Amino acid sequence: MRKSYKFRLYPTKEQGIILTKTLDVCRYIYNEFLADRRNAYDRCNRGLNILDQINQVKYLEFNIPVQSQVKQDVIRRLGKSFDAFFRRCKSGEIPGYPRFKSKGRYNSFTYPQSGFLIEGTKLKLSKIGTIKLKQHRGIEGKIKTCTIKRELDQWYAVFSADLGKCPIKVEPITSIGIDVGLNSCVTLSNGEQFDSPEFYRKSEKSLTVQQKRLSRKKKGSENRNRQKSKVVKVHRKIRNQRLDFNHKLSRILVDRFDRIVFEDLNINNMVKNHHLAKSISDVAWGQLIQMTKYKAEETGKFVELVNPYNTSQMCSGCGTLVKKSLAVRTHKCPECGLELDRDHNAAINILNLCTVGTTGRACGVMDNSSGNEAGST
């Protein structure tokens, strides 16, 4: 079981220059060996593998020293891009041939085994030096890799740690069904609701002003580059606010309940509705579900996904289908007289679907150990 830890780095001005030059070297290696692969296929009708190119990269020399394993990891990264390309070709998806990386599209490099060491409040990097590290929490397990990442004008260290075997699954005692929505971010089957903070919509006015100013700047000018950074900073703030909210909400859910049941939504298709796309992206359902999954996996708890078909239309009291549009926010059953909030009714149905599935009928269950859907029995 792997877990990642992300910490802020505070390099000096000189160290920032070295980090930027290291990124430029890695980007150059990526583009050069991507061109080699393309040319080998076009001219000789043969492909190059990772081992072939790793044997070549050690002969390259640059103005600044770069650790050998960092350069080798760039080749492995390129290999993963081609593996994903061939996988998409075989599965009939849009292939998306690996692209050359421009200056703003290559923002990280990795020490895959060694060359890094945490010394108190400092991070020692091979060929770079010792950089101030803000380690706001401890690291569990054994650190396997260290990735240095640039986000505009900020630098981060991301450590991947091996925690060993997954914890033993607990016997679920408390279960909850969750309906994700737009008016309320989530509605629980016990009636609780967590309102959507709508970070994007609150920052939309500021973002519009910055984007208008960007559109007036001459392309390729320094003024345009500076203004582009301001736009990116607004987006970064929205992203960080959304991450913080979903981290806290997923932690609340995992701490309180042993089994958490969501709808198995196809969010990619849902955002094709241009009337709802902005609101769906703003609440970030997929991010919340993913965070809840890995937090539950760490504690031996369960996150399960059920078929969302008719969960909003079905009466949770008697099972009668009560058709209603999205504008109707209250569920009123003409058969049993049940009247409650539409999202609360859906959340109860979601929990009931999982309960039925575990007693013999099919229930879409997310296997926490593998990340694949499995049938619950």
Catalytic residue set: 179, 263, 343
Question: Tokens standing for 142?
Answer: 């054994």
CA distances from 324 to 230, 274, 340, 342 (A): 44, 21, 14, 10
> Which stretches of the chain are DSSP H helices?
13-44, 50-57, 68-91, 199-216, 222-256, 267-270, 277-283, 285-299, 342-357
Name which of 35, 247, 134 is nearest 53 in CA terms.
35
CA distances from 56 to 27, 68, 138, 162, 221 (A): 16, 12, 39, 31, 38
Q: How far apart are CA 290 and CA 258, in angstroms?
A: 16
- Three-state DSSP class for residue 308: coil
Residue 336 Cα to chain centre, angstroms: 43
CA distances from 281 to 86, 201, 235, 293, 353 (A): 29, 11, 13, 19, 26
- SS3 letters across 324-336: CCCCCCEEECCCC
